[in-house]
Amino acid sequence: MDYHELVKNCLKGNKRAQKEFYDHFAPLMFGICYRYTKSSADAEEVLQEGFVKVFHNLHRFRNDGELPAWMHRIMVNTALNYLKQNKRYRGDLSYDEINLHPVSAENPDIHLQAKELADLIRQLPTGCQTIFNLHAVEGYSHVEIGEMLGIHEGTSRSQYARARSIMVNWIEKRNENVKQKRYAGK
């Protein structure tokens, strides 16, 4: 697909080009929105708001980078704003410093499908889920996350450690259940 031509036609107000643009990028961008929310309906809301921002700011895209990467950043920022503004998430968006058990450097024996892993991440408390996504999935540093969320770098690190610890425990329990079912079936 020629992004440059599509962007140019979208900027001219061509409705067909705008629909083609949306139809092409919506599935990928929905996945990003879904990672940060707790329901498809919320992800859809973030997606719509994100696309409003994309179309509103499309004139700022310089064609000097990848269009999907530019849109990706807009969707992540839109999702973060949604979490901060939505009453349902605001109370759950806690980044308090807490004492955590040390996390082992060893990884559990992992045999998960991508969807299973994504579902586990979405079950994390919203604050942990957000930081886990930003650091482990999006690749932001803890300094960048702190700036994005208005928290200390150390808070980001501790929330990430908490999320990782929860995930490791869930995966270990899941693997233990799988082993027990295997032995019970023999």
Per-residue pLDDT tens, the chain, 186 aa: give them. Answer: 678 899 999 999 999 999 999 999 999 999 999 999 988 899 999 999 999 999 999 999 987 668 999 999 999 999 999 988 887 665 554 444 433 333 333 443 444 467 778 888 888 988 899 999 999 989 999 999 999 999 999 999 999 999 999 989 988 888 888 788 878 765
- Alpha carbons within 13 angstroms on the beta-carbon side of residue 12 total 9
Both 75 and 15 in one domain: the answer is yes
Both 83 and 159 in one domain: the answer is no
Q: How many domains does the chain have?
A: 2
Q: Which two tokens stand for residue 86?
A: 């939505």
User: Would you say residue 157 lies in a domain?
Assistant: yes
pLDDT at position 63: 73
pLDDT at position 109: 41
| Dihedral sign of CA atoms 65, 68, 74, 77 in order | negative
Both 84 and 127 in one domain: the answer is no
Both 86 and 8 in one domain: the answer is yes
The amino acid that residue 127 corresponds to is G
Range of 75's domain? 3-90
pLDDT at position 89: 67
Both 168 and 131 in one domain: the answer is yes
Both 77 and 130 in one domain: the answer is no
User: Would you say residue 104 lies in a domain?
Assistant: no
Judged by DSSP in three states, 98 sits in: coil
Terminal alpha carbon distance of the chain: 52
- Overall pTM surpassing 0.85 (yes/no): no
